[in-house]
Amino acid sequence: MSLKIRLTRGGAKKRPYYRIVVADARSPRDGRFIEKIGSYDPMKAKDSPERVVLDVEKAKEWLAKGAQPTDRVLRFLDAAGLAKRPARNNPKKAEPGEKAKERAAAKAEKSAAPAEAEA
């Protein structure tokens, strides 16, 4: 049985609230879980201590048993010092898309034409 430490969504529409749970990987996101080990409230300020509440001892136990955290939960565990999240580097993220490049080239070409006419 593959275990995941993941988030289950609760709260009202446009007011999310998440519980950090240990669940079977095959169960649905908001479905059955084995144990609740914390909570995450994204509506709170980033520096608020109540934003992420995590039972460190329970998290350690489940990690020792082989539970795999999802990417978001791994961020919380890394902040708590329980797991190491590898650094990521995506240099193409800030690069504009094909259409934006075409528009920029067309705009540069258009602005270069009157400059040549003046010279």
Overall domain count for the chain: 1
Residue 23 lies in a domain: yes
Per DSSP, what are the bridge partners of residue 53?
39
Average pLDDT over residues 43-69: 93
CATH number at residue 67: 3.30.1320.10
E strands, 41-111, in order = 52-54, 68-69
Stated pTM of the model? 0.73
Element at 6 (helix H, strand E): strand 3-12
Residue 50 lies in a domain: yes
Higher pLDDT, 95 or 115: 95
Quote the mean pLDDT of the chain: 90
Residue 98 lies in a domain: no
pLDDT tens digits for range 59-71: 999 999 999 999 9
User: Domain limits at 52?
Assistant: 3-80
Residue 111 lies in a domain: no
Residue 87 lies in a domain: no
